[in-house]
Amino acid sequence: MVWPLPQRPKRQPAPEHDAPDEDAAAAKKLDLVVRLRRNRKADWTRRLVRENSLATDDLIWPIFLCEGENARQPVASMPGVERLSIDEAVSAAAEAAKLGIPALALFPFTEPGLRNEQASEALNPNNLVCRACRAIKREVPNLGLITDVALDPYTSHGHDGILRGEQILNDETVFVLVEQALNQARAGADIIAPSDMMDGRVGAIRAGLDLAGYTDVQIMAYSAKYASAFYGPFRDAVGTNATLVGDKRTYQMDAGNSDEALREVELDIAEGADMVMVKPGLPYLDILRRIKETFGMPTFAYQVSGEYAMLMAAAQNGWIDGDKAMLESLIAFKRAGADGVLTYFAPRVAQMLQRGL
């Protein structure tokens, strides 16, 4: 109900003394029963009634891998992010475990000489990702490892699938993805995360894992992955910006579509996905909300490289408060229904959470 404002009396001449006019003060009070600001009056009550909160358990830390020893290669378009050699990745894994971060997501920078049209390095049991998985599992066995299943880090043309002319071959690609997933599972990956957006790949990977005895290996499907301009810095980090021929719009989703995302998720769940993901994150919070409300599945969002780079650039220029904007962006995912977030801010946020923000 909207309450009418009380009518103020006509202005009277100012009194000759400074004594407060109690009647005038009372006339300025609104006759409100509900005052929502009462719950905001202090930090303790704001915390008490908070609907959504951020915890370290909500974080997945994506890291980039490179060859070498004691190597840390800065990614110019992602301030504060570096490619890590395997020994440095093991150190990052130990840091993640100490901070309470549940899992790392691994992405390789494959040397140009190892890339070809067939993405054969993806099937090499001693490729960078597989060696990293084994090394991390030896030293930090209880940390979850998520591995990306897609061919773009390994192809000479930068696409997520097998290319014939200008066409990405769906079914031929899926057969390769199954072998890639098995290769990663053998190396110790806990969660297989197909990001390629080929039709039928979740079901094929689930069948392949089960047949090989990896029934406990989970699948986190990039179910609603959009063809986005926000991936640029990531492609710098894995080296595909220099190799990509054309674009990925024939397999990644159109930014104008929402109902299609629900169809993608429904299919992936039916094919055996244990978790689903929306990518990018902040520009697609509406998709995240629809998916969570419709399916009630463990649902994740990826705060992608372009989102990270924008926040970092604005903070470095003094245009925004970096820490506050970072936290606000992450709580937005929780508010929209995400069970967790892949974010390059993960260690920074975890440290803040340990200090009590």
* pLDDT value of residue 1: 42
In the residue annotation, 225 being an active-site residue is answered as yes
In the residue annotation, 29 being an active-site residue is answered as no
pTM value?
A: 0.91
Choose, from 225, 248, 292, 334, the residue flagged as catalytic: 225
Q: Which residue has the tokens 């609104």?
A: 30
Query: At residue 61, what are phi and psi to the nearest 5 degrees?
Result: -105, 110
Q: At what angle do helices 201-211 and 259-270 cross, to 10 degrees?
A: 20
pLDDT at 46 over 90: yes
pLDDT at 172 over 60: yes
* pLDDT value of residue 3: 45
Distance (Å, rounded) from C-alpha 356 to C-alpha 283? 29
Choose, from 137, 248, 279, 292, the residue flagged as catalytic: 279
What's the pLDDT tens digit per position in 133-142?
999 999 999 9
Which pLDDT band holds residue 245 (cuts at 50, 70, 90)?
Answer: confident
308: exposed, middle or buried (Cβ count in 10 Å: 0-12, 13-18, 19+)? buried
Distance (Å, rounded) from C-alpha 293 to C-alpha 337? 8
* pLDDT, average across residues 325-350: 98
Distance (Å, rounded) from C-alpha 124 to C-alpha 169? 21
Residue pair 197/152 in contact (Cβ under 8 Å)? The answer is no
What's the pLDDT tens digit per position in 102-155?
999 999 999 999 999 999 999 999 999 999 999 999 999 999 999 999 999 999
Q: Which residue has the tokens 């020893």?
A: 69
Nearest CA-CA partner of 182 in 203, 154, 152, 205: 205
Residue predicted with more confidence, 199 or 356: 199
CA 101 to chain centre: 14
pLDDT at 5 over 50: no
What's the pLDDT tens digit per position in 247-278?
999 999 999 999 999 999 999 999 999 999 99
pLDDT at 321 over 70: yes
Residue pair 204/167 in contact (Cβ under 8 Å)? The answer is no
Report the mean per-residue pLDDT for the chain. Answer: 94
